[in-house]
Chains A and B, each alone.
Chain A
Amino acid sequence: MAHILSPVPGTFYTQSAPGEPLFKTPGDAIAAGDVIGLIEVMKTFIEVKAEAAGTFKEYVVENGAAIGAGEWLAEFEG
């Protein structure tokens, strides 16, 4: 099991906007560079990307959660 970590502190979003679908759902195939979430930091949105290919397992923090730098955001099987 591998983890996707937060590069910066901020607020984590699992969808691009309210009402939009989740970036990834369990079982989705992911490629390196796929966007799996957004972090709002100081009113700027930064994309969180998968660093390697694999199968998405789950988000480990909720949509809209306050997160710290280096915190686990999601799990995937590489």
Chain B
Amino acid sequence: MPIKRLLIANRGEIAVRIIRAAKAMGIHTIQAHSEADADMLAVRMADEAVCIGPAQAAHSYLNVDAMLEAVKSTQADAVHPGYGFMAENADFVRALEKAGITFVGPSADTIDRMGDKVAARQAAEAAGVPVVPGSKGRLDTVDDAVAVAADLGYPVMIKAAAGGGGKGIRIADSEADLRKMAPQAQAEANAAFGDGGLYLERAINAPRHIEVQIMGDGTDAVHYFERECSMQRRRQKVWEEAGASCLDEATRAHLCDTAVALAKAVGYVGAGTLEYLYDSKTKEFFFIEMNTRIQVEHPVTEMLTGSDLVQEMIHVAGGGKLRQSQQDITRSGHAIEVRLNAEDPAMQFLPFPGKVDSLRLPEGKGIRFDHFLYEGYQVPPFYDSLLGKLIVHAEDRAAAIALLITALEKLEIGGLKTTTPLHLALAHDPSVRADDFHTQWLEPWLAAGNLNATP
């Protein structure tokens, strides 16, 4: 049944993005917000708003009961979770399913299955997606891990079976390392996820992080090509591109086709992303995990393909069939997104919440800025530091980098420190311009003082 009243269970820029998409589809929008977010842009833009509790996310945006109460009191017939918070909370989705409310995303069972790394890996293997050589199932003892590592060869990556967000990941170079690290990883996994299960993978040297955007309607699935997200600090992406220039056409086609095969195999509904490690030297790619949500970096794909992914996920959640067949989805040019965070890059990225005194946004062909700012807005200290995302699109990668520099120089967010200097330095860096970097590249680059060396 098509969605009529959509509750947005999120905040910040993604809430604004969802409201714009829903309004364009003629849907009534209801913005859920904490006490600290009563003044945020999404609240001002939505048709109505509902307070769900105090500033602390645990008592508001992460509170299943409060969110369900908001759904009932506003008579919403659907919930869009954005990313983070409730986006991959199967218990929340189950409660909505029970109440007859549409969740804009996959079913609780799909979230559970893909959220368990071992189960996701088994589903991927069954669909013909290459996976990193690793343990067949979860490992519960250190001796099991040592036996598996002897087969895989060192170095090995130790991960929490229930994991996410980089928690519990360690790399062991030898059996002695593994015997020391595995119990720590188990303890950390237990503390973070209430599940001490581990699994092991072969560690790949200098990998690139490539991911494929898919969309499914429960029967059919399509891909919107791939993104390159190798520029990471503390396992958080800072700069993302579409497409991945390091791939040749045959590899790209294979990668995207296997992603669609997996989406179809699990009867996927909504927007999803399959993440891979890619070894440029051997041209091998390996599935690592699937994210069952819209992602922060979805706009680069939208710019590359000219598709509105958020509208499409709302459409399929309402029971619609995919509106584009695979051959309708084409790529043109190159897109880059950088994350503007309220942090001071010169002070070890110290968070810098504050008041937006002035705001000057870059405009023009190929420039998009997804954000939730306005002059006079007080950025609260209670949530993550993402202020907005600057996205550029041009005919090729070099032109996109040039446009990114122009746009960053025009962007002015007065009163706050932001990560703009980092992105300008990266855009001028010879390795970045030569597309020569990988997931382990940015942190040593920062540690070597490159940020300060660039004018």
- Known: A41-B381, A42-B384. Contact between A66 and B353, CB under 8 A? no
| Known A42-B342, A66-B55: A9·B385 in contact at CB below 8 Å | no
Task: Give the number of residues in A that approach B within 8 Å (Cβ atoms).
Answer: 11
Among A10, A42, A44, chain B packs the most CB atoms within 10 A around the CB of A42
Contact B55 A41 (CB under 8 A): no
Residue of B nearest to A68 (CB): B381
Chain B: minimal CB distance from A9 (Å): 4
Interface size class of B (residues with CB under 8 A): 10 to 19
Chain B residues whose C-beta falls within 8 Å of the C-beta of A11 in the assembled complex: 55-56, 381-382
B383 at the interface (CB under 8 A from A): yes
B308 to chain A, nearest CB (A): 29
Asked if B351 is an interface residue, CB under 8 A from chain A, the answer is yes
For the complex, give the distance between the alpha carbons of A61 and B36 in Å: 19
B385 contacts which chain A residues (CB < 8 A)?
A: 42-44
Q: How far is the CA of A33 from the CA of B40 in the complex (A)?
A: 37
Contact A41 B56 (CB under 8 A): no
Q: How far is the CA of A64 from the CA of B382 in the complex (A)?
A: 12
Cβ contact of A42, chosen from B36, B55, B56, B351, cutoff 8 A:
B351
Cα A9 to Cα B379 with chains together (Å): 11
Which residues 351-394 of B have a CB within 8 angstroms of A?
A: 351, 353, 381-385
Which residues from 1 to 31 on chain A have a C-beta closer than 8 Å to any C-beta of chain B?
A: 8-11
Smallest CB–CB gap between A42 and chain B, Å?
A: 4
CA distance A69 to B36 in the complex (A): 16
B35 → chain A, closest Cβ, in Å?
10
**Closest CB of chain B to A63's CB: distance in Å?**
12
Taken together as a complex, chains A and B put the C-alpha atoms of A66 and B343 apart, in Å, by 20
Taking CB as reference atom, which chain A residue is nearest B56?
A: A11
CB distance from B299 to the nearest CB of A (A): 22
Task: Mark interface residues in B36-70 (1 if CB within 8 Å of A CB, else 0).
Answer: 10000000000000000001100000000000000
Cβ-defined contact, B55 with A44, below 8 A:
no
Instruction: Give 30 A-B contacts (CB < 8 Å), ordered by A residue.
Output: A8-B350, A8-B351, A8-B353, A8-B381, A9-B381, A10-B353, A10-B381, A10-B382, A11-B56, A11-B381, A11-B382, A41-B351, A41-B381, A42-B343, A42-B351, A42-B353, A42-B381, A42-B382, A42-B383, A42-B385, A43-B351, A43-B383, A43-B384, A43-B385, A44-B350, A44-B385, A46-B350, A66-B36, A66-B55, A66-B382
Q: What is B's interface to A at a CB cutoff of 8 Å?
A: 36, 55-56, 342-343, 350-351, 353, 381-385
14 extra A-B contacts, CB within 8 A, seeds A8-B351, A41-B353, A42-B342: A8-B350, A8-B353, A8-B381, A9-B353, A9-B381, A10-B381, A11-B381, A41-B351, A42-B343, A42-B353, A42-B385, A43-B351, A46-B350, A66-B382
